[in-house]
Chains A and B, each alone.
Chain A
Amino acid sequence: MILAENVCYTYRNGNNVLKNISFEIKKGEFIAIIGSNGSGKTTLLKHFNGLLKPTGGKMLVNGMDTRKTKTSRLAKYVGFLFQNPDHQIFCSTVYDEIAFGLKNISTRREDIRQRVKKAAEKLGLESLLDSNPLTLSKGQRQRVAFASILALETDIIVLDEPTKGQDYIESIKIMDTVRELNEQGKTIIMVTHDMELAALYAKRIIVLRNGTIHLDGRTESVMASPEILASSGLKPPQIYMLSYMFRKYGLFWNVHTVEDMFRQLLAHLEGSKNVSIG
């Protein structure tokens, strides 16, 4: 679905942000890209819909070379949710805002109505379609922005820190929707700083460090490598960290969730007596 071959990106001021990035993303994957600030996450993300074109190597999206394809054309295949919904909201009703992208890719009028409704429903905005986006809360505005991306019904959805600055309830609403979309077969790529959310939702994790891929693998195996994460300036999720601390005592191997840990704790208490703690 997406293929990056030795992608390099250098800003005009000579700042070399991406160095030889290669990977393949298959249909239906759920990927979190993590890394400290300045590691190139957002720059990489903007390559998926051609907002930035690689200065070296190439990026293929659905077989199209992004260097030769306009972003407005790629919009039919890649939906891109920006960090700040206020950077895109300009219509006087939620309905028009969600329909904006559809009009741009010249959708039939009947289809527009249907797709707007469907996207709004998915994000719990049905009752707000006639409201002015400016009167809504920050969390609702983020969902309006998300709905306007969803309405495009793209196979790939790219999210740049979708839960930044949102409270817990809003974050979960957004992430649950993302998971649902993934279960319906959409490919999800998101950048996040929230390691707990990444561990909870993503299936594959790509760790960026100084513009190179530091680690790329299944969530369970990436998160269970605290030293490598630490060398990228990241802190693993609490449960992974806790199980890591017990590892030298031979306890809590293969722990990925709170439930895993609790189950093993109970098992230790009931059964084995040859556990030793210093």
Chain B
Amino acid sequence: MSAFVEYIPGNSIFHRLNPITKILWTFSVMIVCFLTENPLAVLSVFIVNLVIAATGNIIRQMYPILRGLLVFCTILSLCQVFFIKEGTVVLYALPWFRLGPVTDRGIRLCVLISLRMLSTASTVPILLMTTPMSDIITAMTEKLRLPYKYSLMLTIALKFIPSFIDEMNQVMQAQMSRGYNSDTKNPFRKFLIIIPLAIPLLITSIQKSRLLAISMEVRGFGSGKRSCYKDCSMGNADYIAIIIMASFVLAGIAAALIT
């Protein structure tokens, strides 16, 4: 499960912000990055993201994600840089034949796109690593008026993914012990061999969900108005953060309108 973006407990300022503030942050980063054409401005947004990750003590966990993004951006830039013909040619990919011209505007655009990608794509993992999923869901129910039933469904789905994977391994091993072999090249057989895995999985899942439903009912689920255990009120830090983000977004809009 290490490939998953998981919540990493911490007590930084960013950890303590309201999930709604953090969701607003991801949106404002996106807006600012796409409004401005200036690579330096986007770079500074990215650096702020890194600072947030550093104060939240999640740089180490962010590292593989950032590396992946960098690789992706490099490939994307290499593919794209040759298609931009405007501007003066700075170099050729194959100088001896004067083939594959690369222009200064091409480079500038590719850097801009890459930085935009890095800045906007790094916000979501930062959000998920500093906020428990249940807090995000609670905040969405309380502040954004998402019906409780939907958010509960989401919570249950997320909680049961690991146990579902576990269950699948068990079923797989049980069938393998009876000589079941899942290697086949024939596509028709490939479809058929899923059946011994899918049916036990379906049946055990139905059994489990039945018990889950009963265990929720006996604790009064659906008996009327609910209260909420989690405190998701906004603090002073939230209001300050929202004001700062709003001013950046407004500045971005203003700058875009002027140019």
Contacts and interface: CB of A to CB of B under 8 A. Distances in A.
Touching chains A and B, CB distance < 8 Å: yes
A80 interface: yes
B195 to A, nearest CB: 6
A93 to B, nearest CB: 13
A104 B181 contact: yes
Nearest to A78: B177
Nearest to B204: A86
A87 B170 contact: yes
B135 interface: no
Interface in B147-184: 167, 170-171, 173-181
Interface string B189-222: 0000001101110011001000000000000000
Chain B interface helix/strand/loop/mixed: helix
A101 B204 contact: no
A150 to B, nearest CB: 11
A152 B178 CA distance: 8
A206 to B, nearest CB: 21
Contact of B179 (A13, A84, A87, A101): A101
B196 A100 contact: yes
B186 interface: no
Contacts of A89: 200, 203
B176 to A, nearest CB: 4
B178 A86 contact: no
Contacts of A71: 173, 176-177
Q: Which of B171, B175, B178, B196 has most chain A Cβ within 10 Å?
A: B178
Question: What size tier do the contact residues of chain A reach?
Answer: 20 to 34
A149 interface: yes
A76 interface: yes
B174 A70 contact: no
Q: Which of A49, A78, A82, A134 has most chain B Cβ within 10 Å?
A: A82
A88 interface: yes
A72 B199 contact: no
Contact of A82 (B173, B196, B203): B173
Contact of A72 (B171, B179, B198, B207): B179
Q: Which of A71, A90, A134 has most chain B Cβ within 10 Å?
A: A90
Nearest to A90: B199
B178 A148 contact: yes
A84 B170 contact: yes
A90 B196 contact: yes
A203 interface: no
Given A87-B200, A89-B200, A90-B195, A82 B176 contact: no
Interface in B1-22: 2
A88 B181 contact: no
B200 A90 contact: yes
A33 interface: no
Interface string A65-92: 0000011100110111010101111100
B173 A152 contact: no
A70 B182 CA distance: 11
B4 to A, nearest CB: 13
A51 B179 CA distance: 11
A64 interface: no
A78 B203 CA distance: 27
Nearest to B171: A87
Contacts of A148: 178
B178 A70 contact: no
A86 B196 CA distance: 11
A82 B171 CA distance: 9
A46 B173 contact: yes
A105 interface: yes
Given A51-B173, A86-B200, A87-B204, A104 B179 contact: yes
Contacts of B171: 87-88
A13 B196 CA distance: 29
Nearest to B195: A90
Cβ-closest 3 pairs across A and B: A104-B179, A101-B178, A90-B199
16 contacts: A49-B177, A51-B173, A71-B173, A75-B178, A80-B174, A80-B177, A82-B170, A82-B173, A82-B174, A87-B171, A87-B200, A87-B204, A88-B200, A104-B178, A104-B181, A149-B178
